[in-house]
Structure 1
Amino acid sequence: MKIITTIASIFLLIFSWCWVDLKVGHKRYLKHATNIKYPPRNSEMTVFTSGKILFEDYIKEVRQAQDSIHILFYIVKNDKFSKDFLKLLQSKAEEGVEVRLLVDWIGSKKMSRQTIQELTESGVHFSFCFKPKLPFLFYTIQKRNHRKITVIDGKIGYLGGFNIGKEYINQGEKLNPWRDYHLKMTGEGVKDLQEVFLSDWFYDTNEDYRGTPAYFPTLTPGTQAHQFVVTNGSDLEQTMTHMIRQATKKIIIGTPYFIPSETLFQELRDALARNVSVTVIVPEISDHALVKEASFPYFRVLIKDGAEIMQFQRGFYHSKVILIDDIMCDIGTANFDKRSCFLNSEMNCIVFDRTFIKDVEKELAVDLAESKPLNGDALSSMNVVRSAKESLASILSPFL
């Protein structure tokens, strides 16, 4: 009995420490980090849903860079595609192009010390985001910079869901093919991408280049209206809530992880109550433990309320896209989950251009054609193992 009491006390102490560490660490971080809703911009944008096509274009633009290449990815792996990508950055730095590479410490943990040394010896400026540190060790281990930003010569920008690794170009052993959404942009919106990258660089390195004129050339406005929303563990919930409330006809959400906050969950139920159709597209195959089970309690209710839950069949679905009627769509780095809302640093682009929205609708039609509806009856049938997983997933849902 004494041993059980001791173990329980230790567990309670660790839990209490983690909770206080997380809450206080997050509060301290938000004092320095800013959530920014940039003014409306006009740019020219292209949406990519295939990694192979995206990276053909991306690598071509990197090769043609003349002055600067600023790159932030959540994940850079240690496979051939990743090594070839890093070799390209080294060669550009050796040519005299200023190259900065910022990667998340957890997401890019497979990058070796030798690789980083080779990058820096070639002249690439390198840094990790959110390395664990005291006094808020648990919080910094949980914090992620989930943004994926590239700015080339201050004139060409990329933002979206793809990272650097072989699975993203359909060479993975399990999650193949990979379906995602990624933007390429020229025009005045690139300035905002540059500012966010340089702000993240400053936070992690204390090197401040945010006012450097060379990184902010004069940009010609494009024809497609959009607005960037930058979040650091707060305000994303409010942004998504505002979008959902605008819907009068339909909402389509594409996400690999559907673990909404109670507020967002209720907003979707309210939308259904006012006869807005709600469709959620998620992968049938999961890439992380318990994320499917974490979504099931929400799906049961939404299906009963009249929503359609579609499971993508052709490979892995990693898209981060929200369509509201035919008036706006959101493409960026945030998932429809608690981690993106309350922990991660994210960047989303809300697009208002009707022509662009039609292109996104066509891509979503492809997603839906490759998906099958989730059967609500099967989801509600008795399954002891699934129920146990759901209970554990519910506890861990803020961190999944």
Structure 2
Amino acid sequence: MINLTILLSVAVILLIAIVFIFLLWVDYALGRKKHLKTVSRMNPSPAFANFVLFADGPSLFDDYFTELKKAKHHIHILFYIVKDEGIGQEFLTILKQKANEGVEVRLLLDWAGSLPIILNFKLRKELRSHGIQLAFAHTPTFPFLFYNVQARNHRKISVIDGKVGYLGGFNVGPEYINLDRKLTPWRDYHLKVNGEGAHTLQSVFLQDWADASNQLISKTEKYFPEDITKGSVEHQFKVNDGAFLKEEYIALIENAEQFIEIGTPYFIPDVEVMQHLLSALTRGVKVTIMIPYTSDHFLVKEASHRYLRPLLKAGAEVYEYKKGFYHAKAMIVDEVAVVGTANFDKRSFFLNDEINCYSEDLHFHKELSEVFHKDLANAEKLQYQDISGFNLKRQGKELLARCVDLFL
């Protein structure tokens, strides 16, 4: 009798779990379907700018904070993560000071990435009391709550006086300036944009701000100044709102003739992207992938194994960065250089808002390639046998990761 009661209890629990998972799946599928009906491709026209490429946090934030302090009219900032500690407090103090001076300050944060700030009512009140306009992107809504909870604004954009812009992989927190023992030094790629490209970033920010705050800002000369240096690097920003990124990457891979180099903290592509990478290898294209040896999130490393194994068998070279943590998002495919906010994973392909910079400029291509290969020199080549064979712990984590790799 006791055994029967236990069995019935287990059966009920399993049934509830199955129904719950099914409802989540329906929510996600319908939410995704609705999103794809409304999303449109936003690829601004090619522009020119002068670029500065940063690969370490201390030098980036020294420059970034200097530019913020020089702002005269407005500061527009979008980050996925801002932490109210250490450098994050210094960052917020600068914004408060500039707002006190009469500079328009708009700070847009992703609701999930910066959840502690949402929960900190006192901090939010303080920021607004100084005149900072604060909004949060992708706050969960009904219907399709589960899908909406997963959608994130992963872009990191700053625009200062409509003339200077920044975008890339860095957020704002202690780990990004090498103050996390496990993840130090933090390696990332971030662009400073002087010139026409800053106007493109401004347009993207203003659209994201309107979506999050329901406040439309007129595209006047004070936000798009005419007295701006054109710049020398021709480029194109490509903006993705949980769609079209995969197709853009596939187009690059399909057209590759010599080499494909990918730098990403999370390598979790889908089957179609895998097929194109394997096809490139059969054409004789050299494929090099750099990922971190140390992971910053549970299961992301194990999630990559089932994709890396067939690539390794087909002749791809995979390297694990060992001198700290590698968080950069970059691709170099023949003459095309790409750097931005998008990871090479399903979350960036299908859920996140992202922005990447594409350029065939010879100087920028050379600079990004040199930085990538400098990091490659601090990485160790991964062998097929390192992630194959019987290993109960690894295989268990791989199985679990396989069930949730879309959301990692």
> 1:1-400 to 2 correspondence within 5 Å?
1-111=7-117, 112-218=120-226, 219-325=228-334, 327-400=335-408
When the two structures are superposed, what TM-score results if normalisation uses the length of structure 2?
A: 0.96
Which SS does the other structure have where 1:140 is aligned?
helix
Q: For residues 95 and 169 of structure 2, what CA distance do their matches in structure 1 show?
A: 21
Structure 1 residues 210 and 263: alpha-carbon distance in aligned structure 2, compared to 1, 3 A threshold: farther
1:18 aligned counterpart, secondary structure: helix
Q: Which amino acid aligns with 1:251?
A: I
> Secondary structure in 2 aligned to 1:389?
helix
Distance in 2, Cα, partners of 1:10 & 1:164: 41
Deviation at 1:122, TM superposition (A): 0.1
Deviation string, structure 1 residues 326-362 (Cα, Å, up to 9, x no partner): x111100000000000000000110110111001111
Unmatched tracts of structure 1, length 5 or more: none
The residue type paired with residue 220 of structure 1 is T
Helix, strand or coil for the counterpart of 2:142? coil
Are the equivalent residues in 2 in contact too, given 1:199–1:210 (CA < 8 A)? no
Q: Deviations over 1:148-180 (max 9, x none)?
A: 000000000001000000110111132100000
Aligned AA for 1:183? L
With 212-221 and 236-245 compared, the bigger mean Cα shift is at 212-221
Q: Equivalent residue of 1:189, what SS? A: helix
User: Matched residue of 1:336: which SS?
Assistant: coil
Where 1:123 maps in the other structure, the secondary structure is coil
Does the 8 Å CA contact 1:99/1:124 hold for their aligned counterparts? yes
8 Å Cα contact 1:254/1:322 also seen in 2: yes
Deviation of residue 133 (structure 1)? 2.1
State the Cα distance separating 1:246 from its structure 2 match: 2.1
Report if the CA contact (8 A) 1:30-1:232 is conserved.
no
Secondary structure of the residue aligned to 1:133 is coil
Task: State the shift of 1:68 in Å.
Answer: 0.4
CA distance in structure 1 between the partners assigned to 2:238 and 2:57 by the alignment: 24
Q: Secondary structure at the match of 1:214?
A: coil
More deviation, 141-150/103-112: 103-112
The C-alpha deviation readout for 1:236-288, integer Å capped at 9, x for no partner, is 00000111122111111000000001111111111111111100000000000
- Structure 1 residues 204 and 234, CA gap change in structure 2 (3 angstroms): same
Change (3 A) 1:60 1:341: same
Aligned Cα root-mean-square deviation (Å): 1.2
Identity of aligned residues (%): 46
The two structures have a TM-score, normalised by structure 1, of: 0.97
Deviation, structure 1 residue 220: 3.4
